[in-house]
């Protein structure tokens, strides 16, 4: 091969060198850096901006078969997984009814859907009754419930699609307490259908758009 085709002109090489992002997205997350949130606030980003690929650290702190937590140390029961969130179509975004638990005046939207390779059973969670890895927008492995009045969002894993975007009682529910353009974290629990639910906290760091 002619070596002259392997070298870039000086001006083009300099221009490409300046295209390196100043803060590249991480490819690995330190599990010890994941801390449980202490206060829940409104989202600092639009829910649609949360679309993308994430690496998740999920800890279990309570539930049947969950190892006891030693004060001052991370919970011993944990999982590392990938999560992919996509924007929902208009057909799937808006509900056909309202969430009665929040009152009839509270609309619920489903702006995102997605999939994950998380196995909830590793965490002692038993609420998932559908494949969490499903990428089918009609029955996705991950659904979202967004409450515009409170600017809060919940990810529901492994539940059949309900009339307002998520399973009514099934699934494993990930309540987002803090979120920005690069990460989010919160607390999770089995859905209301599980009599003795497992629970814990999670952190998700963006690794791709």
Residues in the chain: 209
Q: What is the DSSP letter of 38?
A: S
pLDDT at 101: 55
Give pTM, 2 decimals. 0.80
CA separation, residue 136 to residues 26, 114, 115, 161, 187 (Å): 28, 8, 9, 11, 26
Both ends of the chain: CA-CA distance in Å? 36
Question: Quick check: 184 and 178 in contact, CB under 8 A?
Answer: yes
Nearest Cα to Cα of residue 157 among 58, 63, 73: 58
CA separation, residue 138 to residues 134, 141, 159, 198 (Å): 10, 10, 12, 27
Taking the C-alpha atoms of 105, 50, 139 and 164 in order, what is their torsion angle to the nearest 10 degrees? 0
Tokens of 182: 């690069």
Local confidence pLDDT in tens for the 209 residues of the chain: 443 334 444 443 444 344 434 445 545 677 788 999 988 888 889 999 999 999 999 999 999 878 888 888 888 999 999 999 999 988 888 765 555 555 555 678 899 999 999 999 999 999 998 999 999 998 999 999 998 888 999 999 998 876 544 445 689 999 999 998 899 999 999 987 788 899 999 999 999 98
Give 136-175 as a DSSP string. -TTS-SEEEEEETTTTEEEEEES----TTSS-SS-SEEEE
């Amino acid at each position: 091969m002619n070596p002259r085709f392997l070298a870039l002109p000086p001006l083009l090489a300099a221009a490409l060198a300046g295209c390196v992002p100043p803060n590249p997205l991480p490819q690995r997350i330190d599990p010890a850096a994941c801390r449980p949130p202490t206060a829940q606030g409104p989202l600092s980003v639009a829910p649609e901006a949360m679309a993308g690929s994430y690496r998740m650290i999920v800890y279990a702190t309570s539930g049947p078969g969950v190892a006891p937590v030693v004060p001052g140390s991370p919970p011993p029961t944990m999982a590392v997984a990938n999560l992919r969130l996509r924007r929902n179509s208009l057909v799937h975004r808006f509900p056909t009814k309202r969430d009665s638990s929040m009152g009839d005046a509270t609309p619920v939207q489903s702006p995102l859907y997605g999939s994950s390779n998380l196995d909830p059973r590793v965490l002692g969670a038993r609420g998932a009754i559908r494949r969490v890895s499903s990428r089918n927008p009609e029955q996705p492995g991950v659904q979202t419930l967004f409450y515009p009045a409170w600017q809060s969002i919940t990810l529901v894993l492994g539940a059949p699609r309900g009339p307002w975007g998520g399973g009514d009682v099934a699934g494993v529910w990930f309540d987002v307490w803090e979120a920005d353009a690069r990460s989010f974290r919160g607390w999770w629990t089995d859905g209301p259908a599980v009599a003795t639910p497992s629970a814990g906290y999670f952190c998700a760091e963006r690794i791709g758009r």
